[in-house]
């Protein structure tokens, strides 16, 4: 009787362990899905103006929301050329990018679309705005109203 009880306890422990492992795997999968960026639409890069402005095929101008890179000038501010080259290397002319337009302020005073720009790095959509901050090519420039909090990208 003690052997049967011991076997039952072992089976229950094994089943609970499997259930916990499955539950953990599902929660990790859900977290992975939640971390996927929201891309409203894709577009093709025509050319890079500077570190925070891209022109798309069809003539649309996109300003990377929440960040500011040094101006090309003249004269060029320190880091301006490097910021532009960084963006050109990640999304040269003809590259497909993803856009998440700022729903609270979709355009700036110059008519440029304000958006988070996503690029593919090793097949994974990556926030270009955040990459510019992370690499030190840009600074946070939060101008409310905006649905995006660039301070989250900087951390």
Q: Where are the domains of the chain?
A: 1-35, 41-154
User: What pLDDT does 7 receive?
Assistant: 63
More reliable by pLDDT, 22 or 115: 115
pLDDT band (50, 70, 90) for residue 155? confident
What is the reported pTM? Answer: 0.77
Question: What is the per-residue pLDDT across 3-20, written as a single tens digit (0 to 9) for each?
Answer: 665 565 545 564 434 443
- pLDDT for 51 beyond 80: yes
| CA dist., res. 150 & res. 153, Å (int) | 5
CA nearest neighbour of 87 among 135, 27, 125, 40: 135
The dotted CATH code for 41-154 is 2.40.50.90
How are the residues of the chain apportioned to helix, strand and coil, as percentages rounded to the nearest 5?
35, 25, 35
- pLDDT for 29 beyond 80: no
Give the CB-side neighbour count of residue 75, counting CA atoms within 13 A. 2
| DSSP 8-state assignment for residue 151 | H
């Amino acid at each position: 009787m003690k052997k049967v009880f011991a076997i039952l306890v072992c089976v229950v422990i094994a089943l609970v362990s499997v259930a916990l492992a499955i539950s953990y795997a599902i929660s990790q999968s859900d977290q992975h899905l939640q971390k996927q960026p929201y891309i409203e639409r894709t577009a093709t890069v025509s050319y890079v103006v500077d570190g925070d402005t891209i022109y798309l095929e069809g003539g649309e101008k996109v300003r990377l929301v929440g960040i500011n890179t040094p101006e090309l000038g003249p004269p060029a501010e320190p880091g301006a050329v490097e910021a532009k080259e960084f963006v050109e290397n990640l999304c040269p002319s003809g590259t497909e990018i993803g856009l998440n337009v700022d729903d609270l302020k979709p355009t700036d005073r110059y008519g440029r679309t304000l958006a988070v720009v996503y690029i593919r790095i090793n097949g994974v959509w990556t926030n270009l705005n955040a990459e510019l901050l992370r690499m030190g090519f840009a600074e946070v420039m939060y101008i409310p109203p905006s649905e995006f909090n660039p301070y989250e990208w900087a951390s």
